[in-house]
Amino acid sequence: MAAQTLIERLQGLKAQVASLPSPADERELEALRVKYLGKKGTVSLLSQEMASAPKDEKPVAGKLLQEVRGGLETMLEQARVRLTREKIQKEIEQEFFDISLPGSEPEFGARHPIAAVMDEIVDIFTGMGFQVEEGPEVESDYYNFEGLNFPAEHPARDMQDTFHLTNIERLLRTHTSPVQVRAMQKYGPPLSVIAPGKVYRCDADITHSPMFHQIEGFTIDKKITMGDLKGTLQTFIQRLYGPKTAIRLRPSFFPFVEPGAEVDVSCVICGGKGCRVCKHTGWLEILGAGMIHPNVMRASKIDPAQWSGFAFGMGIERIAMLKYGVDDIRLFFENDLRFLRQF
């Protein structure tokens, strides 16, 4: 008996496929797919024979091969859809729903108190004309120290409790002040910037955290004075804590400002009358500020004879603790829902 040609075998396969029963379950479905369309399946093997088929047979054989493959794929897809529907219908029939039970109300998330306070502060300053800038949390020694008038071996570096990385020139920024240098170099004066972000210091107790949030702000323009600084901070404090809140500036030292000042606000707990929180002084320290040091200007190619400016920086956690009457900074980072739900 003469061997069948490729066309005859394809015709036989086409007839065989047309008479295949629909698979009863997913196991039969997969078995049919592997038998006919798998890498070593019937259709795949016949497809490989096309290369050696006589030229006059190739057009007919190719058409038959596509018809067989298409018929199989259609049949298998229809079977897959049918089996899926049957499975879903069976699960629905077996499940029990008690429609008399009350529904469960989903819990909605909210802004973390630190994020809420930061957003409020940013809104106040952007409303005063400040633009928002951000910078990297892994900084170079230059931007974190040298460009801010912290020369090498300067004792003020010890105030920062720095996390140095493997390379001594790389560190986790200890304040958001590096953004001031970057913005001054990027834009040049006149300029008003607010820079919120995370900072890192080797410190941890009820009032300090190794990671916390700061906002740095500064303005550079012609004829900027301490009066402009005080007026800006007075406006900010009164919008944050209320129109009756007073501020005062006390002389202090920061390497990147001269003169420098600590800024106090009238106690938001007792209204300035004196209480345990303010140690009966009526005042609470809230931020540091001052006029930008001429060396910081020169480091960013800004002539201090032509331009002047003020800068200030504050810890968001400190602001939030005063705003909400929280006495332990660690509560903001423990993610205790009993605490967070209060906000």
Query: Which pLDDT tens digit goes with each residue over 269-327?
Result: 777 787 776 788 888 888 999 999 999 999 899 999 999 999 999 989 888 888 887 87
Tokens 């049918």 correspond to 82
Residue 208's pLDDT is what? Answer: 63
CATH assignment of the domain containing 316: 3.30.930.10
Question: Is the pLDDT at 2 greater than 70, yes or no?
Answer: no
Q: Are residues 268 and 325 in the same domain?
A: yes
Residue numbers of the domain that contains 160: 113-340
The tally of domains found in the chain comes to 2
106 in a structural domain: no
SS3 97: coil
Question: Based on the domain organization, do 333 and 202 belong to the same domain?
Answer: yes
* pLDDT for the residue 1: 39
Residues 234 and 156 in one domain: yes
| Span 238-266, pLDDT tens digits | 998 888 888 999 999 888 999 999 998 88
What does the pLDDT look like over 19-56, one tens digit per residue? 888 888 888 888 888 888 888 888 888 888 777 777 77
Pairing of strands 138-140, 170-172: antiparallel
Distances (CA, A) of 251 to 155, 261, 262, 264, 307: 19, 4, 6, 11, 23
Residue 99 included in any domain: no
State pTM to two decimals: 0.64
Residue 174 sits in the same domain as residue 252: yes
Q: How far apart are CA 175 and CA 177, in angstroms?
A: 5
In a domain, 88, yes or no: no
Do 137 and 70 fall into the same domain? no
